[in-house]
Copies of this chain bind each other. A is one copy, B any other.
Amino acid sequence: MTVSSPTFQTGAEVRIAVRKGAFTGHTVGVAPSFVQGNVVILPKAHAYDFLLFCQRNPKPCPLLAVSDEGSPRLPVLGMDLDIRTDIPRYCVWRDGELVGEPAQIQDLWRDDMVTFVLGCSFSFEQALISSGLSLRHVECGDNVSMFKTNIPTVSAGPFSGPLVVTMRPFMPADVIRAVQITSRFPNVHGAPVHVGDPAAIGIRDAGRPDYGDPVEVRPGEIPVFWACGVTPQAALAAARLPLVITHAPGYMLVTDLLNERLAVF
């Protein structure tokens, strides 16, 4: 998937290249030992409700860091990090509509902006792969399948909506191993939320995802479902705030945290 990407050894190298405009690609498989984050930037007026939404829904919204108001810095994720320039592609949302996908947001920055960085499944996928498990969507060069469920999130202010999940099929022995491995990483979605029958969580057709690509479930395999970072994105879009800036899908913030540092044991 990343044959054309330059090879970066650290998250800081990625960010410097992005900041200079020397790297403009997606970040799948880039500096894979380092934590990549979903990014949400919004005005302070909405920051409390969004922080509360994350606290109440930690599986889909695992918070890694929150900036000070007006500061583009997140020293806990990288001393040099500047959130206005260090992501290869942003999405700008006004009243819930996508209005642009710029490569930097210095012109949009305001003194009341607050940045939220949330863990993403790249971290636990790296752990699954390192443990010898095969991920079908990675093998096929596809995006993971994502589905809206009938499981509601716990609302906070204007933010609500269904839990969105990713699905990865495994043979039974690997289902057990996948539960063990991802349980180590509660800060990047953690253990699965469901195993088996998709209909039990409101998914009518596991072959027709709401987001991402279809992923085949082969005979003898069990579909396993994890909480997904699209959940807060969908809640944000539905809230139709005047201004929200996010990373573009697949174009993540690459941090200085090692994935293994997120393991609780």
Contact = CB atoms under 8 A, between A and B. Distances in A.
A183 B186 CA distance: 11
Nearest to A52: B66
A55 B118 CA distance: 12
Contact of A265 (B55, B65, B180): B180
Interface string A248-265: 000000000000000011
A239 B265 CA distance: 34
Contacts of A265: 180, 183-184, 191
Copies in the complex: 2
A123 B26 CA distance: 43
Contacts of A180: 265
Contact of A264 (B55, B66, B190): B190
Given A48-B48, A51-B55, A154-B76, A186 B63 contact: no
A208 interface: no
A264 B48 contact: no
Interface in A176-197: 180, 183-184, 186, 190-191
Interface of A: 47-48, 51-52, 54-56, 63, 65-66, 76, 154, 180, 183-184, 186, 190-191, 264-265
A184 B264 CA distance: 8
A130 to B, nearest CB: 18
Contacts of A56: 65-66, 76
Given A51-B55, A56-B66, A264 B186 contact: yes
A81 B183 CA distance: 30
